[in-house]
Amino acid sequence: MGTEPVIETVNAYIVDIPMKRPHVMSFGAPTEVNFVLVRVQARGGIVGWGEAATFQGPTWSEESAETIHVVIDRYLAPLLKGRNALLYNPLMEELEQRFRGNSFAKAAVEMALLDVAGRYLGQPLHVILGGAFRMKLDLSWSLASGRLETDIAEARDMMSRGHRIFKIKMGAGAVEKDVANLARLRRELGPEVGLRADVNQGWDRQSALRALRKLEESRPDFLEQPLPKWDLAGLSELRHKSAIPLMADESLSDAHSALDIINKGAADILSYKLTKLGGLTRSLAVYHLAAGAGLGAYIGCMIETSLGTAAYLHFGSVLPKLDYGCELFGPLLLAGDIAAQPVTYEDGRVLVPEGPGLGIDVDEAQVEKYRRG
């Protein structure tokens, strides 16, 4: 195999890519996604890429593209140069011990290291991680245009292409309107379609309790993060009063928060995002903790390019159980991509790349096209 893949350079770039339509959530309606791309070059010319996606600054989380960029450039990158990229576990643990928080920045770096390792070994990431249980993941499409008629038309168009799972965003307006919108979707799309609802922390306890019984009539697969992330007591109360499974997303940030959710009985399902959990290996650790406690699994997204989506797909492929599929629709919603060949969608599913590393070749001309000046 030759010389070890010693890291020579680490570069981070901010890239802004518009979306085909606004994505309306309880905290805003972004029209573009702000990415930090990490390019790691190792000895022998091996190049690996990583990615972290954000919306309109520190909105979904405390990190923004700007903070991620400076943390990688000033603090993380200098510690990586001259190190063996195959030793990504010890390297990431060293970064964890040296620098507090900044999970998005660390996840982007780890993603690039894993890409280098896979390319050096000539194996897809899912093979390096022990082998895939599945090479296709069921895809949930998020309806978040901000207009119900548009959402219905969009869902019907997606159904014509094989999609059968949809998630509607809630929490930006009146609770009664949210309830009515889900009921209308159920009537329009039919009883066989899977429906989910995501509030993105948009309700208080009283609003959520008011909504629960009426939401049950529409038979959603789950209700995602109805309360602020800190209110685990409230989530636990809702969970024990609800016939709808509750999913924690923003409440989950690391293994400690996962343990709190488990101990307080605050959720039935966890939503996994590699960036919020600090990377793929830490996400796997949280998954096995939660699975041991009987919680279901779903893979969320931050509207990644094909690069970030590929990392999530490899993660999803090696989970023993993935009860609720994924929402890795980013490349379909973005108006541009940085991949020479994007990830593949087929009949309501998204396919795990089979090339070495992440399996995505980055088109550096596209990176330059969208790179912030």
Q: Residues with catalytic annotation?
A: 169, 327
Residue among 9, 13, 29 nearest 65 (CA): 13
Kindly state the tokens that stand for 248: 């924690």
Task: Report CA torsion sign: 62, 67, 72, 75.
Answer: negative
DSSP-derived secondary structure letter, 70: H
**How large is the C-alpha radius of gyration of the chain?**
20
Dist. CA 309–CA 330, nearest whole Å:
7
Exposed, middle or buried: residue 29 (CB in 10 Å: 0-12, 13-18, 19+)? middle
Dist. CA 78–CA 65, nearest whole Å:
19
Token match 């406690």: residue? 293
Token match 């396919």: residue? 351
Q: What is the largest CA-CA distance in the chain?
A: 64
Residue 117, beta-bridge partner list = none
Residue among 352, 299, 343, 351 nearest 321 (CA): 299
CA dist 135 → 18, 101, 138, 324, 327 (Å): 29, 32, 10, 15, 15
